């Protein structure tokens, strides 16, 4: 059986992942690209006598290689040389999406164009695929991945295109630029860079930093110098040469689209439902309040709906702990099972419904297209106080987990902006903190707007992140500079399928369960062991090892209102994973049901809120610290993040408790 490699590429939000899933089914697996932590998805399918391996490249807008995602995509296409590159575009926005496709054709690769979301333009736009195919020198297939339309035709087209040659597509840049391209091409004859010579010449005129670097590594500085002379000459005619080159590409695209499409509705009727909704949700004055209200509703529903299911899970673990202990006669083993495993891990698992429900809401808002609008709306506020525009996207991802959110900063081209976003991201409240909030809110604020209390913690994290960014930008020399704007394409609103939302929510919640079975389990076992040693002491007493550890750090926490050793121990073990704060308390006090009795004797509502603030802001978990180091490649910045967040967490909790006590 013959084997081929096919790469899927496209802008973000064009349904590329859905196409990948439909093509590969259960054969897909996820890893990382060699040397980087950006996710790599691979799968395969069989068609006739061919096994076709599919690689899902990161969602990008161009092949300029300004961001790490763009470099990965371009390097894979150039160096790995897939047999076919399938470019997936959003049928509702052909002009913007075809820019990447034209760049691929200039690179000289064999392509297949997929018009996805074709169901969204029915009765609105007619696309003549024959004219489009002839103009762009490629085969065109219409699909709708969510409705499983055209997948069979796509597989057939992939198989056919693997066996036939293709014509090249040229963008006419005008006589002056074309003459410069030819002169640079002649200079490139002695190089062995794995690029199409015309593509290489154009990228030199665009001053692509990676191309320039590769030529210098081959000691071809003379080519770079001659390219600069060409640029200087052309800029006497075109003051902004790079913009001129981009406009020529768009000129070709607009002509092709105009020639191959026909609008079926009037200009007035083309105002889509998305446009009408955006007039409200992206309004200068209404956008931020609407986002805040949406988040408040999400957290209120998360607490109330999750609490309903959590009560039953809590009863189950209470029954399991009492039932199992009756059949275990060894007191040490009995303590390990009841206090350690069930009391610790069970206390954390109780909050799985809350996490699952939160992810259901966030997945729905993301898939429906609202979260992109939230980033757009918040960009105005963030930019006005010195934050990079693209920072809000990784910050939004931080609501799920700070680790992939920090990895997502690789899409930020400017290194200063990227570093700044990495440093502030740990302040965004991930779902690992949610069990802490739900536990304390359920005990101390159950009758006093619990959703509002949880919402205030998420809002506080965003505020601290924004203020920290402002402070870093104005005081740290390595982070000073111009602030980049957020340039993004807003996807149209579309109702996601129930299956897609459930899959996204479950995939994220599954990570919580994995942690419960690994890191959190190890943490509570360690807490139980230290609570039981030295032999002969009362379990989880001040005389135990864990009690001594807590007593050593407890005085530091006294100004914050929770200067008792159990709180100190919980925060220390929370470094393994934030959920372990709850698991540790469950282990120390013997389960979630015991916590509702014990904690009101140790905390007041004010000190409980201060403890939640401390849990929100103090040192990131081990996994987050590790990814900060990997992404910055700097012990200095990693240490700075750890000590700064510890200080901010302690000072914030202390101020809230002390000022609250006075009031």
**Residue 663: how many other CB atoms lie within 10 Å:** 6
Domain count across the chain: 3
User: Which residues participate in the annotated binding site for GTP?
Assistant: 10-17, 35-39, 56-59, 116-119, 144-146
pLDDT tier for residue 385 given thresholds of 50, 70 and 90: low
Q: What is the pLDDT of residue 34?
A: 44
Q: What is the pLDDT of residue 295?
A: 85
Mean pLDDT of 21-28: 76
Q: What is the pLDDT of residue 32?
A: 45
The Cα 234–Cα 205 span in angstroms is: 9
By residue count, the chain amounts to 663
SS (H, E, C) 232-259: HHHCCCCCCHHHHHHHHHHHHHHHHHHH
Beta bridge partners of 86: 8, 112
The Cα 401–Cα 408 span in angstroms is: 11
Q: By percentage, how much of the chain surpasses pLDDT 90? A: 39
CB contact set of 113 (below 8 Å; sequence gap of 6+): 87, 89, 101, 132, 133, 136, 138, 139, 140, 141
Mean pLDDT of 106-126: 90
User: Per mean pLDDT, which range of 7-16, 25-34, 386-395, 397-406 is the poorest?
Assistant: 25-34
User: Per mean pLDDT, which range of 119-123, 142-146, 205-209 is the poorest?
Assistant: 119-123
Output the domain CATH number for residue 192: 1.10.287.1770
Pair (102, 179) in one structural domain: no
DSSP of 34-76: TTS-SEEEEEEEEETTEEEEEEEPPP-S-SS--SHHHHHHHHI
Pair (341, 220) in one structural domain: no
What is the phi/psi pair of residue 326, to 5°?
Answer: -70, -25
pLDDT tier for residue 505 given thresholds of 50, 70 and 90: confident
Q: What is the DSSP letter of 116?
A: E
Do residues 608 and 658 lie in contact, with contact meaning Cβ atoms separated by under 8 Å?
no
Mean pLDDT of 244-252: 91
Res 654 pLDDT > 70: yes
Q: What is the pLDDT of residue 121?
A: 85
Pair (181, 142) in one structural domain: no
Pair (500, 629) in one structural domain: yes
The Cα 465–Cα 558 span in angstroms is: 25
Pair (393, 516) in one structural domain: yes
Mean pLDDT of 409-421: 81
pLDDT tier for residue 159 given thresholds of 50, 70 and 90: very high
Q: Tell me the Ramachandran region of residue 472: left when phi exceeds 0, alpha when psi lies from -120 to 50, beta otherwise.
A: alpha
Mean pLDDT of 382-399: 72
Q: What is the pLDDT of residue 61?
A: 85
User: Which residues participate in the annotated binding site for Mg(2+)?
Assistant: 21, 24-25
More confident residue, 65 or 126: 126
pLDDT tier for residue 221 given thresholds of 50, 70 and 90: confident
Give residue 223's domain range. 175-239
Res 223 pLDDT > 60: yes
Q: What is the pLDDT of residue 216?
A: 87
* Residue at 257 is within a domain: no
Mean pLDDT of 244-256: 92
Res 3 pLDDT > 90: yes
* Residue at 170 is within a domain: no
Q: What is the DSSP letter of 87?
A: E
Q: Which of 204, 224, 239 is the last residue of a domain?
A: 239
Output the domain CATH number for residue 106: 3.40.50.300
Mean pLDDT of 119-144: 91
* Residue at 246 is within a domain: no
Q: Which of 161, 193, 224 is the last residue of a domain?
A: 161
Q: What is the pLDDT of residue 270?
A: 47
Res 309 pLDDT > 60: yes
Mean pLDDT of 242-266: 88
Pair (313, 443) in one structural domain: yes
The Cα 206–Cα 187 span in angstroms is: 17
User: Per mean pLDDT, which range of 323-337, 577-591, 614-628 is the poorest?
Assistant: 323-337
Q: Find tokens 């392509």 and name the residue.
A: 111
Task: Catalogue the E-assigned strands of 268-325.
Answer: none
Q: Find tokens 């081929």 and name the residue.
A: 4
Res 286 pLDDT > 90: no
* Residue at 432 is within a domain: yes
Q: What is the pLDDT of residue 133?
A: 94
Q: What is the pLDDT of residue 265?
A: 65
Q: What is the pLDDT of residue 449?
A: 84
Q: What is the pLDDT of residue 269?
A: 53
Mean pLDDT of 196-201: 89
Q: Indicate the average pLDDT of the chain.
A: 85
Of the candidates 172, 247, 179, 243, which has an alpha carbon nearest to the alpha carbon of residue 207?
A: 243
Query: Using one digit for the tens of pLDDT, what is the confidence trace for 558-580?
Result: 999 999 999 999 999 999 889 89
More confident residue, 529 or 658: 658
* Residue at 156 is within a domain: yes
Res 212 pLDDT > 50: yes
User: Which residues participate in the annotated binding site?
Assistant: 10-17, 21, 24-25, 35-39, 56-59, 116-119, 144-146
Mean pLDDT of 28-53: 70
* Residue at 251 is within a domain: no
User: Per mean pLDDT, which range of 118-127, 319-328, 494-503, 604-613 is the poorest?
Assistant: 319-328
Q: Tell me the Ramachandran region of residue 87: left when phi exceeds 0, alpha when psi lies from -120 to 50, beta otherwise.
A: beta
Pair (294, 350) in one structural domain: yes
Q: Which of 134, 161, 188 is the last residue of a domain?
A: 161
CB contact set of 390 (below 8 Å; sequence gap of 6+): 411, 412, 417, 421, 484, 486, 488
pLDDT tier for residue 27 given thresholds of 50, 70 and 90: low
SS (H, E, C) 581-633: HHHHHHHHHCCHHHHHHHHHHHCCHHHHHHHHHHHHHCCCCHHHHHHHHHHHC
Pair (217, 322) in one structural domain: no
- Cα angle: 59, vertex 65, 71; to 5 degrees: 65
Res 59 pLDDT > 80: yes
SS (H, E, C) 162-229: CCCCCCCCCCCCCHHHHHHHHHHHHHHHHCCCCCCHHHHHHHHHCCCHHHHHHHHHCCCHHHHHHHHH
Pair (505, 651) in one structural domain: yes
Pair (115, 181) in one structural domain: no
Max mean pLDDT among 430-434, 470-474, 654-658 falls in: 654-658
Q: Is the CA virtual torsion 282, 288, 292, 293 positive or negative?
A: negative
* Residue at 402 is within a domain: yes
CB contact set of 89 (below 8 Å; sequence gap of 6+): 10, 11, 14, 97, 98, 100, 101, 113, 114, 115, 116
Pair (557, 651) in one structural domain: yes
Pair (231, 323) in one structural domain: no
Res 30 pLDDT > 60: no
Where do runs of H (alpha helix) occur along 518-573? 519-532, 545-557, 565-573
pTM: 0.69
Res 267 pLDDT > 50: no
Q: What is the pLDDT of residue 18?
A: 85
HSE-CB of 87 using CA atoms within 13 angstroms? 28
* Residue at 166 is within a domain: no
The Cα 392–Cα 372 span in angstroms is: 10
């Amino acid at each position: 059986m013959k084997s081929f490699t096919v790469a899927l590429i496209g802008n973000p939000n064009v349904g590329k992942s859905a196409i990948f899933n439909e093509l590969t089914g259960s054969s897909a697996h996820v890893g990382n690209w060699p040397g980087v932590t950006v996710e790599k998805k691979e799968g395969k399918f069989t068609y006739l006598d061919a096994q076709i391996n599919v690689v899902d490249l990161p969602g990008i807008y161009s092949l300029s290689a300004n961001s790490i995602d763009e470099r990965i995509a371009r390097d894979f296409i150039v160096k790995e040389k897939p047999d076919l590159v399938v470019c997936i575009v959003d049928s509702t926005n052909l002009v913007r999406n075809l820019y990447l496709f034209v760049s691929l054709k200039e690179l000289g690769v064999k392509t297949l164009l997929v018009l996805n979301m074709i169901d969204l333009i029915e009765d609105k736009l007619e696309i003549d695929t024959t004219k489009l195919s002839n103009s762009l020198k490629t085969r065109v297939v219409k699909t709708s991945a969510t409705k499983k339309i055209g997948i069979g035709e796509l597989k057939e087209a992939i198989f056919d295109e693997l066996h036939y040659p293709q014509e090249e597509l040229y963008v006419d840049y005008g006589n002056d630029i074309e003459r410069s391209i030819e002169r640079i091409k002649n200079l490139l004859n002695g190089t062995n860079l794995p690029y199409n010579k015309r593509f290489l010449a154009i990228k030199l005129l665009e001053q692509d930093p990676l191309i320039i670097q590769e030529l210098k590594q081959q000691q071809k500085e003379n080519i770079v110098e001659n390219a600069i002379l060409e640029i200087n000459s052309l800029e006497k005619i075109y003051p902004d040469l790079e913009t001129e080159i981009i406009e020529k590409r768009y000129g070709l695209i607009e002509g092709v689209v105009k020639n191959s499409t026909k609008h079926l509705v009037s200009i007035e009727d083309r105002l889509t439902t998305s446009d009408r909704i955006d007039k409200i949700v992206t309004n200068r004055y209404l956008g931020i309040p609407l986002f805040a209200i949406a988040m408040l509703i999400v957290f209120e529903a998360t607490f109330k709906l999750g609490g309903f299911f959590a009560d039953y899970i809590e009863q189950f673990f209470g029954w399991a702990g009492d039932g199992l202990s009756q059949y275990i006669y060894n007191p040490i083993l009995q303590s390990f099972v009841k206090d350690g495993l069930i009391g610790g891990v069970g206390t954390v698992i109780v909050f799985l419904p809350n996490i699952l429900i939160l992810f259901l809401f966030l997945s729905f808002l993301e898939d429906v297209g609202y979260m992109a609008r939230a980033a757009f709306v918040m960009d105005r506020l963030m930019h006005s106080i010195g934050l990079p525009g693209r920072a809000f996207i990784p910050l939004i991802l931080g609501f799920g987990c700070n680790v992939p959110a920090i990895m997502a900063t690789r899409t930020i081209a400017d290194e200063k902006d990227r570093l700044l976003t990495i440093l502030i991201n740990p302040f965004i409240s991930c779902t690992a903190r949610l069990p802490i909030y739900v536990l304390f809110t359920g005990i101390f604020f159950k009758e006093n707007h619990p959703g509002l209390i949880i919402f205030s913690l998420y809002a506080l994290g965003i505020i601290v992140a924004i203020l920290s960014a402002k402070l870093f930008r104005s005081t740290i020399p390595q982070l000073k500079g111009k602030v980049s704007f957020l340039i993004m394409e807003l996807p149209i609103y579309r109702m996601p399928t129930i299956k897609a939302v459930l899959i996204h929510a479950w995939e994220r919640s599954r990570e919580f369960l994995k942690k419960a079975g690994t890191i959190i389990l190890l943490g509570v076992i360690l807490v139980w062991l230290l609570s039981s040693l030295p032999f002969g002491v009362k379990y989880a007493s001040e005389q135990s090892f864990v009690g001594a550890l807590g007593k050593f750090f407890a005085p530091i926490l006294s100004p914050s209102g929770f200067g008792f050793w159990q709180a100190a121990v919980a925060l220390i073990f929370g470094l393994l994973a934030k959920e372990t704060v709850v698991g540790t308390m469950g282990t120390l006090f013997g389960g979630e049901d015991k916590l509702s009795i014990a904690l009101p004797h140790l905390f007041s509502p004010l000190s409980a809120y201060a403890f939640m603030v401390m849990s929100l802001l103090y040192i990131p978990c081990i996994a987050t610290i590790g990814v900060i180091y990997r992404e910055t490649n700097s012990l200095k910045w990693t240490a700075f993040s750890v000590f700064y967040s510890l200080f901010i967490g302690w000072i914030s909790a202390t101020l809230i408790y002390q000022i609250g006590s006075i009031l």
